[in-house]
Amino acid sequence: MAEHQSGSFPRTRMRRNRRDDWTRRLVRETRLSVDDLIWPVFVRDGDQADEPIGSMPGVFRYSITRLVEVAGEAAALGIPAIAVFPVIDPSLKTPGGEEASNPNNLVCRAVAAVKKAHPNLGVICDVALDPFTSHGQDGIVRDDYVVNDESVAMLVKQSLVQAAAGCDVIAPSDMMDGRVGAIRDALDEAGFSSVRILSYAAKYASAYYGPFRDAVGSAKNLGGGDKRTYQMDPANGDEAIREVALDLREGADMVMVKPGQPYLDIVRRVKDEFRVPTYVYQVSGEYAMHRAAAERGWLDWDRVIMESLLGFKRAGADGILTYAAVEVARKLREQGT
């Protein structure tokens, strides 16, 4: 920073601008708005009541009917988009994850119902086979290895049925090589040229996904397995830049960094390097740890959740996937922001 921008004490006193609420508001650099929020939601078959998820207090698995209702509440609050995650009946899971490409599967029915009721709410669908595979991996397994090209072929089929159901944004979270380009070509060929691709470009092999795997029921299928042969090593930063560059070249409209809080440096680097719409996922484990500490009275939930999201904005994110989206949207509305 240039010397003249910061004088020296005692002429310069940094605390002056912090003295009153009105100056603090005037000098504030970053703001969180409802437009920054994407709400991930879990849907399951059947008509049962909302089912709580033990490791994610305040988060539920919804029936399609209830999903349509809560999606309406999110839309009314001004949340731009939801991301739909299916809880697939174990009897439909196979080694090849074929149910993912069934045009009448749970995700497709849920997306069609939500879009019919709320055409102006954006709907994002994950592309990865893990909710559908009996082994819980995101792709097809041959000789104990998740094979790339064969998995991509299946992910393309999954993308096409989701787009046909009315999904606005295809979000590949599988980390196979070349999948963004393959999906883009297939979407265009099938007449879905305005369906967007939000690539989970820098997705790390993280222990913070634990509660999500409970929520969709893939933890049991995965057993003790991990995803380190395709998700990124948490030690790597430069590699995230290469991943994002490749996905953009293949046609991604938006990119994501995931998880969030331990990877704020990656968010900043991606935003600075590419200047493209950059999203960050505050994943299930981040939500769970804030919740758990708040339940014990160790942290003030309202304040820490807002601070955690503001941190993502400050790091350069254009938007945040957070399980707290609806609560936060209500709070922003109360605050009149």
Separation of alpha carbons 288 and 59, rounded Å: 10
In the list 39, 42, 192, 209, the residue contacting ligand PBG (rule: CB under 6 A) is 209
In the list 130, 243, 247, 250, the residue contacting ligand PBG (rule: CB under 6 A) is 130
Give the contact letters, 226-245, x = binds to ligand PBG (CB under 6 A), - = no.
Answer: -x------------------
Instruction: By CB under 6 A, tell whether 169 contacts ligand PBG.
Output: no
Instruction: By CB under 6 A, tell whether 100 contacts ligand PBG.
Output: no
Give me the least distance between CB of 216 and ligand PBG, in Å please: 8
Listing DSSP states for 6-73 in one string gives S--TTT--GGGGGSSHHHHHHH------GGGEEEEEEEESSSPPPEE-TTSTT-EEE-HHHHHHHHHH
Judged by CB under 6 A, the stretch of 42-50, 91-99, 123-131, 306-314 that binds ligand PBG is 123-131
| DSSP reduced 3-state for 155 | helix
Q: SS3 breakdown of the chain: % helix, strand, coil, rounded to 5?
A: 45, 20, 35
Instruction: By CB under 6 A, tell whether 41 contacts ligand PBG.
Output: no
Instruction: By CB under 6 A, tell whether 99 contacts ligand PBG.
Output: no
What stretch of H or E contains 249?
A: helix 238-249
Rg from Cα positions in the chain? 21
Separation of alpha carbons 203 and 137, rounded Å: 15
The residue among 182 and 283 lying less far from ligand PBG, judged by its C-beta, is: 283
Let me know if 203 is a catalytic residue: yes
Judged by CB under 6 A, the stretch of 4-12, 122-130, 160-168, 272-280 that binds ligand PBG is 122-130
Catalytic member of 93, 115, 227, 258: 258
**Is the dihedral angle over the CA atoms 129, 133, 136, 137 positive or is it negative?**
negative
Give the rounded distance of the alpha carbon of 105 from its chain centre: 21
Neighbours of 289 (CB within 10 A): 15
Instruction: By CB under 6 A, tell whether 140 contacts ligand PBG.
Output: no
In the list 42, 62, 132, 212, the residue contacting ligand PBG (rule: CB under 6 A) is 212
Neighbours of 241 (CB within 10 A): 18
Let me know if 271 is a catalytic residue: no
Residue numbers 268-307 binding ligand PBG by CB under 6 A? 283-284
Catalytic residue IDs: 203, 258
By CB under 6 A, name the binding residues for ligand PBG. Answer: 126, 128, 130, 138, 173-174, 209, 212-213, 227, 283-284
